Structure 1
Amino acid sequence: METLELTEEDGNGKKDSNYSYLALNVMLNEVLVDIVQSSLAYKLVKLECLPNARYIRNATCAIKAVNRYRSLANMECDIVDRLQNVSLNLEIFQRNTANHFKPFLVNVTTNVCKIFDRQSFDAYATIVAKILKDVSNVNHTCPYMNHLIVKNLLLEARYLPIVPPLGFYKLVLHFLEGFPYDDVGSVILYVQITEVKEFKALTRVPKFRQL
């Protein structure tokens, strides 16, 4: 136990103990504290595939739950002939308090073939291409033919250039062929972004008690 005395000097340089006196009795204890880490979880809650039968057949879409915060997307389809000049229109919508989806920041169209051929560097389309490279056989430049597959797609923060607000989002990927554009089909992903707090460990920290 330690006692501290604080005094203040007067104008003559003398210490005036009557002006200010503070006695602190400090006792050091150890307490256990949880270390909490927060992160964002991007959970796919709904998936829709809307193919154009002139280009796509045998399309399937499915969601596989991993845990309460994460899920995987799996998609497959067969190309009727071949796709030689594919473009992608990406739109993102955020659900508001009235339960309506409103446009959110992104509405871009870019040529997929040029991205994989490193002739285009549109930021958001490049993100889509990076994801496709990781989880699908759509990982090369045009043309695309035969069987296409996306397996175990997990939405992660590392793919995003910004940290979006918490909430519900709709991502619409509209695939187009040629120019003028002809509709190939759309994939719609509904995503919920939540904050996850994880208790990682216990650590000892000092606790000061005034007596």
Structure 2
Amino acid sequence: MWRQLVFVLWIALQTICFSHVTFTNLKCTALDEKYMEFPTCQIKAVNRSHKYVDICTKFHRLPIQSAWVKVKFMKFDHGYKPFFIDLSYDACKFLKDKAKHPIAFMFFRSFMNSSNLNHSCPYNHDVIVDKLYTGELETEFSRLIPIPNGDYAIFTDWSTENIPRASVRIYMKILGN
């Protein structure tokens, strides 16, 4: 019995731990350009198999006292359809106490070292995601959650003062090695 369990775990680790994520597209949309804009929203290639994301958000009205984020994990199946749970959080409260929301924290951990989103509100500066490398997503998601090969997207919608301000869509492909 234990040999079968070890064999199943070994097979599972092959598919879970050795997945490769590559960014395929990125779309940043400012819904109110008088409030904010995206001077930088791009994917850059490190080499043929690895890419990183750069996003710079310039705010024209500061400080930001309240922020809300909605995150949807999508899988392509004749169009993008919900794949995992949808998250919706008061970003300011989340940044004060990340431990209360473990799934959101796992998502946040995938980009926190590449971003200046490192404190709670108020925000008196622009928000930057600098060189978010695909390896960060591989570490946080592919190794912890069994994700089948395919095309995926992370759709985020950002609001401040209860007004929708921006949407960021990150498209990626996940392949097992």
1:104 paired to 2:83: yes
Deviation at 1:152, TM superposition (A): 0.6
| Whole-angstrom distance in 2 between the partners of 1:186 and 1:42 | 22
Helix, strand or coil: the match of 2:93? Answer: helix
Aligned residue number for residue 67 of structure 1: 47
Residues 66 and 121 in structure 2, CA contact (< 8 A), matched pair in contact too: yes
Unpaired runs of at least 5, structure 1: 1-36, 197-211
Could you tell me how far 1:185 is from its partner in structure 2? 0.2
Unmatched 5+ stretches in structure 2:
1-13
Q: Higher helix proportion, which one?
A: 2
Alignment-derived partner of residue 126 in structure 2: 147
Q: 1:81 aligns with which of 48, 61, 68?
A: 61
In the alignment, the residues of structure 2 paired with residue 75 and residue 69 of structure 1 have an alpha-carbon distance, to the nearest angstrom, of 20
Whether the 8 Å contact between 2:28 and 2:38 is mirrored in structure 1 is: no
SS at the partner of 1:115? helix
Partners of 2:147 and 2:24 in 1: how far apart? Answer: 17
Deviates more, 1:66-75 or 1:41-50: 66-75
TM-score, normalised to structure 2's length?
0.79
Counterpart contact for 1:41–1:70, Cα < 8 Å: no
Match of 1:166 in 2: 149
User: What is the identity percentage for the equivalent residue pairs of Structure 1 and Structure 2?
Assistant: 24
Q: Cα distance, 1:66 vs. partner? A: 2.1
Counterpart Cα distance in 1 of 2:47 and 2:41: 19
Which is strand-richer, 1 or 2? 1
1:1-211 equivalent positions in 2, closer than 5 A: 39-52=18-31, 53-82=33-62, 83-96=64-77, 99-118=78-97, 121-155=100-134, 156-160=137-141, 161-178=144-161, 181-196=162-177
CA distance in 2: counterparts of 1:78 and 1:100, whole angstroms: 31
Q: Which amino acid aligns with 1:146?
A: H
Post-superposition offset of 1:132: 3.8
| Cα pair distance change 1:41/1:165, threshold 3 Å | same
**What is the distance in 2 between the residues matched to 1:146 and 1:157?**
29
Per-residue deviation at 1:187? 0.7
Question: Deviation at 1:77?
Answer: 2.0
Q: Displacement, 1:128?
A: 3.4
Alignment check: 8 A CA contact 1:114 1:120 kept: no
Structure 1 letter corresponding to 2:140? Y
Distance 1:176 1:163, change over 3 A: same
* Alignment length (residue pairs): 156
Give 3-state SS (helix, strand or coil) of 1:81's partner.
coil
TM-score w.r.t. structure 1 length? 0.67
Does the aligned pair in 1 maintain the 2:38–2:55 contact within 8 Å?
no
